[in-house]
Structure 1
Amino acid sequence: MARFTDNAWNKYDEKDMKEVFDFCDGYKDFMSKCKTERECVIEAIKIAEKNGYKDLNEMINKGEKLQAGDKVYANNMGKALALFIIGKEKIEKGLKILGAHVDSPRLDLKQNPLYEDTELAFLDTHYYGGVKKYQWVTLPLALHGIVVKKDGTKIDIVIGEDEEDPVVGISDLLIHLAADQMDKKGAKVIEGEDLNVLIGSMPLKGKEKDAVKENILKLLKDKYDFEEEDFLSAEIEIVPAGRARDYGLDRSMVMAYGQDDRVCSYASLMAMFEIENIDKTCCCLLVDKEEVGSIGATGMESKFFENIVAEVIELKEGYNDLKLRRCLTNSKMLSSDVSAAFDPNYPSVMEKKNSAYFGKGIVFNKYTGARGKSGCNDANAEYIAELRNHMEKYDVSYQTAELGKVDQGGGGTIAYILAQYNMEVIDCGVAVLNMHSPWEITSKADIFETKKGYVAFLKEA
């Protein structure tokens, strides 16, 4: 039965409802643990290994071969991940690819972040990705990341998530003295250089200069055994503190940090774990740096994906460049990324007939880009028709959308990068409210239908 634009909640019986809520309980747990790209990769590998996946690099080092049915993963610098289920057909026949990103907007510590001002200790930050800076003040915030010492020792940092942990935050001006501030444009209410995180106010006894800062350094040394200079080789992110939670009195939604795009990452992972005995090789890509242009060694612009596909070809049937080129050209991809949900509080920026709505399932965006489709991947009609057929065969609720009114703005994903290989690519994922804010909102029905849609694609494409 066609499920285009139907509200998915209406088709669920009691058993279906339990499946939706149980699936989203697992999702909330994932989101509560995974607030950085590194944490996502660690958790994804842990889950993958429980589902029978093996480290591809270990197989390469041992000179082992790949067979149909094998499940492998490749870790790229701890920040990106590729998972493969090897199919029966030759790799040059193409892959079925789910591609999502695991980075999210946040605040990064600068390399020399710690300072004291008027007997208060602060951490200096540089925001990452597109944020409304004023949304990040007066919130309980947590520190997540790693410190790498000169000898190579890695120290994991998570402060602010346990109920017994302290939290940190960014102060704001009291309303009584905010007349000038309130006259500023939204982009200027809080400036980037004012996103300084307050972390302490107690001086270290016996110290006269920067005694509060010295006390913080002593605490870090005692608990984590690193010095101030080790911030130079650290990657510490400031993120909202707290677990993902049910949202709404009916518990129909999820509130969590980083749902753009970890909601699609989780749905993609879970879809891969439901697949067995396939003809074409399936791939799940979880990449970094999408929020800043997909650049760098761990972003989609790097050669990691192309190189690892070459390794898979070599281990399965012997590599040559023509096999690789044919494989990439013959592949099909869902660029698994979120879309903007229609918000009745802000209807002026959306065009109702071509918007995504909560509860109506997975969202297909034929194109993204900005204004005159600048920077977009524009999917072919033939490919969309094929996907419609797959969705309806598996009773997946689905909808189509654009990212707001034509002249209002726009956005992009990793779709255009994979399309450069001449493969069929379309954007599709979950509709999100409050996108790029510290706490984003999604519909549980949409999360579940998106996973179902990814399964349908992997089985049928």
Structure 2
Amino acid sequence: MKNEILYLRKNGWEKYDSKGINEIFDYGKDYIEFLKNSKTERLTLQYLKKLAEKKGYSEDGKEKFYLINKGKNIAFVNLGNVSPLKGIKLIGSHSDAPRIDIKQNPLYEKEGIAHFKTHYYGGIKKYHYLARPLSLYGVVIRKDGKRIDISVGDKEGDPVFTINDLLPHLSKTQYERNLKEAFEGEKLNIIVGSIPLKREKENPVKKMILKILNEKYGIVEEDFISSELEIVPQGSVFEVGFDRSFVGGYGHDDRICSFTSTTALFNAKNRYTVCSVLFDKEEVGSTGATGARSLFLEDLVIEILKRKEIKPTYENIREVLKNSDFISADVSAGIDPDFQEVHEKQNGAKIGYGVVITKFTGSGGKSGANDANAEYLFKIKEIFNKNDVTWQTAELGKVDAGGGGTIAGFLAFYNANVIDCGPALLGMHSPFELVSKVDLFETFKAYRSFYESKE
């Protein structure tokens, strides 16, 4: 009787035998390989597109296809037997992650050292990026119109980059400042070289860097203006712990949801039309033509209707969207034993206890929250229960401890059912986030069961 009337969270590992644990670890290996090769939103798109093509997806596919928007958004679609006018099942994640961007006029020389000026992107703790090896990724469009892909720092033999920190011996004033003010955004400048170009008196080190870039890539200084260059933590992705139960690396938020939602789609036996959509710009408010606030979702619905030979009228587009079920796939904050005070533990996410259903995000008095309705919450948890998914419910920390948002509110704009759902992380937004392998796997199972649901 006790177990029937109480809500009891369950440790996800306990239900698995050795065969099941091997399956979890095998899936973890696939995820590690993905994350190692997906350090930017563009690389994430390219990696998953290649996986999809191996599964029979193409841009002009009849039943399975993908739709790309400006090289940063991608939607993967399995058309179903049920008319899309009765609704579709869509999981939206975001493929951007907190990082440091290179400014459009970045290169300068001071005291014999060349640097790139930067502007951080998303919610970072600035000190996380100091005194550590960093890699450079991105694209440059040269004066001749040719696109150049840049990747420096993670291949064997590559140089790396860094942002210098102040030595502790001279940090008296820095120590007296609060944490937010101690590290200035305008001082997050990347060291790129120090050898002067011979016979040059003015900015010889800067000119040497430009010479190197011109010889290697054909780049001139003006080309930086038409570039997107990102500084990310250098290094690989690792199994963590003696038992190898964690995956540690950069970019779990939110590429873990991009991976699980897309691989779940590849494995789904669906009746409804199902979609995995990767959005950009979530970490800066989902703005821009590739963010969740754009009309890309409407473009996707139009494409689905066309391929089902249904006229994409305004009324039909609205009919699809208002009858649809969506998941905003994003990570949650796991309870860290060393920082328990920021969580109300009865409503906090426990590591290893499965995928997290989040009714609302936002901050303070639910400011900016989607706040899913009770009927949809019931529907989602029933789907998970029927498919042996280990799940829990949680919110993002104590009421007045801070907060955060997702794309849920922008998806709900279309009058669809939307709820947040994803795995819990430790060290969210840091250069080395942690996720439990069982939570990773339960997230995959949750998304697959959502795609396969018959209602």
Q: Normalised by the shorter chain, which TM-score bucket?
A: over 0.9
1:332 is aligned to 325
Is 1:72 matched up with 2:65? yes
Q: 2 CA distance for matches of 1:206 and 1:440?
A: 47
Q: Which amino acid aligns with 1:6?
A: K
| 4+ aligned runs moved over 4 Å, structure 1 | 1-4
Q: Which amino acid aligns with 1:41?
A: L
Among candidates 112, 115, 118, match of residue 119 of structure 1: 112
Q: Which amino acid aligns with 1:429?
A: G
Post-superposition offset of 1:430:
0.9
Is 1:371 matched up with 2:364? yes
Among candidates 274, 277, 281, match of residue 285 of structure 1: 277
List aligned pairs for 1:240-251, cutoff 5 A.
240-251=233-244
Q: 2 CA distance for matches of 1:307 and 1:211?
A: 50
1:167 is aligned to 160
Query: Which stretch of structure 1 is more off in the superposition, 217-226 or 343-352?
Result: 217-226
2:130 is aligned to 137
Is 1:45 matched up with 2:57? no
1:113 counterpart SS class: strand
Post-superposition offset of 1:4:
5.7
2:90 is aligned to 97
1:55 counterpart SS class: coil
Q: Which amino acid aligns with 1:53?
A: Y
1:267 is aligned to 260
Is 1:205 matched up with 2:198? yes
Q: Deviations over 1:119-171 (max 9, x none)?
A: 10100000000111111101100000000113321111000001211110000
Q: Which amino acid aligns with 1:328?
A: L
1:17 is aligned to 21
2:305 is aligned to 313
1:187 is aligned to 180
2:419 counterpart SS class: strand
Is 1:405 matched up with 2:405? no
Q: Deviations over 1:247-306 (max 9, x none)?
A: 122111011111110011110111011023x22100111000000110100000000110
Q: Which amino acid aligns with 2:135?
A: A
1:346 counterpart SS class: helix
Is 1:55 matched up with 2:64? no
Post-superposition offset of 1:7:
0.6
How much identity, in percent, do the aligned residues show? 49
Q: 2 CA distance for matches of 1:314 and 1:392?
A: 35
Is 1:149 matched up with 2:149? no
Is 1:416 matched up with 2:416? no
1:145·1:236 contact (CA, 8 Å) conserved in 2? yes
1:62 is aligned to none
Q: 2 CA distance for matches of 1:451 and 1:417?
A: 23
1:83·1:285 contact (CA, 8 Å) conserved in 2? yes
Unmatched tracts of structure 2, length 5 or more: none
Q: 2 CA distance for matches of 1:177 and 1:218?
A: 35
Is 1:300 matched up with 2:304? no
Q: 1 CA distance for matches of 2:447 and 2:38?
A: 21
1:91·1:323 contact (CA, 8 Å) conserved in 2? no
Q: 2 CA distance for matches of 1:305 and 1:419?
A: 12
Post-superposition offset of 1:20:
0.7
Q: Which amino acid aligns with 1:427?
A: D
2:431 counterpart SS class: coil
Post-superposition offset of 1:206:
2.5
1:30 counterpart SS class: helix
Q: Which amino acid aligns with 2:240?
A: Y
Please report the RMSD computed on the Cα atoms of aligned residues, expressed in angstroms: 1.4
1:252 is aligned to 245
Among candidates 211, 234, 241, match of residue 227 of structure 2: 234
Post-superposition offset of 1:317:
2.1
Post-superposition offset of 1:348:
1.2
Q: 2 CA distance for matches of 1:328 and 1:4?
A: 35
Q: Deviations over 1:396-432 (max 9, x none)?
A: 1100001000111111100011111111110000101
1:63 is aligned to none
Q: 1 CA distance for matches of 2:144 and 2:50?
A: 27
Q: 2 CA distance for matches of 1:264 and 1:326?
A: 27
1:108·1:236 contact (CA, 8 Å) conserved in 2? yes
Among candidates 23, 30, 42, match of residue 26 of structure 1: 30
List aligned pairs for 1:374-385, cutoff 5 A.
374-385=367-378
Q: Which amino acid aligns with 1:295?
A: T
1:97 counterpart SS class: strand
1:225 is aligned to 218
List aligned pairs for 1:335-374, cutoff 5 A.
335-374=328-367
1:146·1:235 contact (CA, 8 Å) conserved in 2? yes
Task: Output the TM-score relative to the length of structure 2.
Answer: 0.97
Post-superposition offset of 1:80:
0.8
Unmatched tracts of structure 1, length 5 or more: 60-65
Post-superposition offset of 1:439:
1.3
Q: 2 CA distance for matches of 1:33 and 1:204?
A: 35
Post-superposition offset of 1:212:
1.2
2:170 is aligned to 177
1:345 counterpart SS class: helix
Post-superposition offset of 1:10:
1.1
Query: Which stretch of structure 1 is more off in the superposition, 326-335 or 312-321?
Result: 312-321
Post-superposition offset of 1:392:
1.5
Q: 1 CA distance for matches of 2:255 and 2:350?
A: 19
